């Protein structure tokens, strides 16, 4: 049993490759030349990119017909549907047609009609179609700008507008043959987009309406501010709330002092009544009574202060009375010594009672002063309360004015914003719109298509692979014997002799890198 020899695929590949190297070289060179020529032949295209960010969606809340509207417009984050709507506005043919029309008027697009239109279509229409329409009584319609239609259709195809996933950013990509014109187109398209959005979101009211409202609010605010200033001037106060707080603190302080004076008055009145009663009793008392039933001691901050004069006279009177009572047990009442002692006691007693009367008058005067202080503080507290009442009335009125002023400020702010929107200022830079140009278009320096750095390498690789594929296709349909092993396998006969080609390949006679050397390499 004979075993089949194992087939060497690598050897077979190189055998086929080198056996058909001339075909491989020619196909490869054809594709190499095509790859080198394509970047020069293909029409260049430039990609102009820009980005727009939609920050919020505007909801108008206020009533433009009201003169005291307080609710301003509200802005909420845009949803996916809102972003799709913005993208549809950007890619709308109407907006694109408007943009191209503006650029054509500025001389950025060619307006010359084509050769076929100049030589055939226009003369045929003027010579045949229009007279026929007039004869039939039909109005000859204005000529439609077919070139603008073609430019619009082409721009719609070349413009790519899409929302970046998971964001509120719209990406714009425009493929143009002329980088300068394409950049102008994208920039003008964004400007028109912002302007159209502003026209859609702003209220369609005349500018004079906002001027009148603005003047109305200014006059009303001036009137209210004048009333508020007049109220504050009438009560001579710049801040009633702060002054009320100050007055309340002063009332609290005065009431505390008034309570102390009233307590002192009550205490002094009780002691005065007691002294007067004690003085009356002492005036009627017998000579044998020893002392006055009060020490005239004053306590201040837990420190006792005694009246020295009263104390000395009281001690002398007590001493003389003690001596007199002692002598009364020895001498007769009519004795000279007893008479002299009684005279001295009477004089000293009268002097003592006189001083007590002086002290009572002092306490009466002090009580009168205390009453005056009480009356003064009572009047001061009443004045403070009256001032607080005036300030509270003024504060209430100013609070009402402040509420109306705040409402007018809000309404005035709303109308001022709408007035500025109606003027259309700042539309080019998007300063008054909730949409902003995130990335402005710029003129690219290099074309996006064709790219020689990609076309040439891929062309060479493609040429080589196609050449190898053609060689294998040719080898598949070529049934001639290529090597001795095929004879034995096909005829089942042994190979006795193999005669090699006696004409070896001639070396390239041309030296260096030259065209003859390349042609010789291709032919052989």
Exposure letters 308-341 (e unless 16+ CB within 10 A, then b): eebeebbeebeebbeebeeeeeeeeeeeeebeeb
**Could you give the maximum distance between any two Cα atoms of the chain, in Å?**
201
Distance CA 508, CA 524 (A): 9
Residue 414 or 226, more confident: 226
Cβ count near 138 (within 10 Å): 10
Q: Where are the domains of the chain?
A: 9-42+450-523, 46-205+428-439, 240-415
Bridge partners (DSSP) of residue 429 are none
Over the stretch 177-190, which tens digit does the pLDDT of each residue have?
888 888 999 999 98
Assign 429 a pLDDT band (cuts: 50, 70, 90): very low
Indicate the average pLDDT of the chain.
77
Q: Nearest 5°: phi and psi at 116? A: -65, -40
390: helix, strand or coil: helix
Task: Please answer whether residues 12 and 514 qualify as being in contact, where contact means their C-beta atoms are separated by less than 8 angstroms.
Answer: no
Which structure tokens are listed for 59? Answer: 């909801």
For residue 176, report the phi and psi dihedrals to the nearest 5 degrees. -130, 150
Task: Round to whole Å and give the CA distance between 119 and 113.
Answer: 10
Task: Please state, in angstroms and rounded to a whole number, the distance separating the CA atoms of residues 55 and 76.
Answer: 9
Residue-level pLDDT at 427: 43
Question: Angle between the 93-105 and 146-158 helix axes, to the nearest 10 degrees?
Answer: 120
Rg (CA), the chain: 61
Residue 193 CB neighbours (<10 A): 23
Model confidence pLDDT, tens digit, residues 42-72: 777 888 899 988 877 655 544 444 444 444 4
What's the mean pLDDT in 225-235?
A: 86
Indicate the range of 150-164, 359-373, 380-394, 398-412 predicted with least confidence.
398-412
pLDDT given for residue 71 in this prediction = 46
Give me the phi and psi of 495, to 5 degrees please: -90, 120
Task: With a cut of 70, say whether residue 497 has pLDDT above it.
Answer: yes
Tens digit of each residue's pLDDT (9 = 90 or more) over 109-118:
765 555 556 6
Q: Which is more confident, 98 or 467?
A: 98
pLDDT at 301: 64
Encoded tokens for 358: 């002086």
The Cα 411–Cα 396 span in angstroms is 23
pTM of the model: 0.44
Tens digit of pLDDT for each residue in 193-218?
888 877 666 554 556 666 777 788 78
């Amino acid at each position: 049993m004979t075993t089949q020899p194992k087939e060497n695929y690598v050897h077979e590949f190189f055998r086929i490759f080198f056996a058909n190297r001339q075909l491989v070289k020619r196909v490869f060179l054809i594709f190499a030349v095509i790859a080198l020529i394509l970047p020069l032949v293909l029409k260049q295209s430039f990609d102009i990119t820009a980005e727009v960010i939609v920050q919020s969606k505007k909801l108008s809340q206020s009533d433009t017909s009201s003169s005291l509207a307080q609710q301003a417009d509200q802005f909420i984050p845009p949803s996916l549907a809102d972003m799709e709507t913005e993208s549809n506005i950007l890619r709308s043919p109407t907006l694109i047609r408007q943009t191209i029309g503006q650029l054509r008027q500025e001389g950025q697009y060619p307006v010359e009609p084509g050769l076929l239109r100049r030589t055939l279509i226009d003369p045929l229409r003027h010579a045949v179609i229009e007279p026929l329409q007039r004869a039939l009584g039909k109005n000859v319609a204005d000529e439609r700008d077919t070139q603008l239609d073609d430019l619009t259709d082409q721009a719609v195809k070349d413009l790519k507008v899409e929302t970046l996933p998971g964001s509120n950013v719209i990406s714009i990509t425009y493929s143009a043959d002329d980088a300068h014109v394409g950049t102008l187109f994208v920039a003008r398209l964004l400007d028109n987009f912002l302007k159209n959005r502003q026209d859609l979101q702003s209220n369609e009211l005349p500018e004079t309406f906002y001027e009148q409202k603005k003047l109305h609010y200014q006059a009303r605010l001036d009137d209210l501010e004048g009333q508020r200033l007049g109220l504050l001037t009438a009560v001579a106060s710049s801040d009633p709330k702060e002054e009320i707080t100050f007055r309340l603190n002063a009332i609290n302080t005065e009431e505390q002092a008034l309570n102390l004076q009233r307590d002192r008055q009550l205490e002094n009145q009780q002691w005065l009544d007691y002294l007067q009663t004690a003085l009356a009793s002492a005036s009627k008392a017998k000579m044998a009574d020893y002392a006055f039933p009060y020490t005239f001691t004053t306590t201040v901050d837990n420190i006792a202060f005694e009246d020295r004069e009263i104390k000395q006279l009281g001690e002398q009177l007590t001493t003389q009375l003690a001596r007199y009572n002692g002598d009364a047990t020895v001498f007769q009442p009519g004795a000279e010594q007893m008479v002299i002692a009684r005279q001295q006691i009477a004089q000293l007693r009268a002097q003592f009672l006189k001083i007590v009367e002086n002290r009572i008058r002092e306490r009466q005067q002090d009580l009168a002063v205390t009453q005056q202080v009480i009356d003064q503080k009572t009047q001061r507290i009443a004045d403070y309360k009256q001032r607080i009442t005036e300030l509270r009335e003024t504060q209430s009125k100013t609070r009402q004015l402040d509420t109306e002023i705040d409402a007018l400020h809000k309404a005035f702010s709303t109308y001022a914003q709408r007035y500025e929107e109606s003027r259309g200022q700042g539309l080019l830079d998007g300063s008054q719109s909730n949409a902003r140009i995130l990335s402005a278009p710029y003129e690219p320096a290099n074309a996006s298509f064709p790219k020689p750095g990609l076309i040439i390498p891929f062309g060479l690789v493609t040429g080589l692979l196609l050449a190898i594929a053609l060689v294998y296709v040719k080898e598949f349909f070529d049934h001639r014997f290529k090597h001795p092993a095929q004879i034995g396998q096909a005829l089942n006969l042994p190979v006795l002799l193999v005669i090699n080609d006696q004409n070896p390949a001639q070396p390239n006679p041309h030296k260096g890198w030259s065209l003859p050397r390349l042609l010789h390499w291709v032919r052989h």
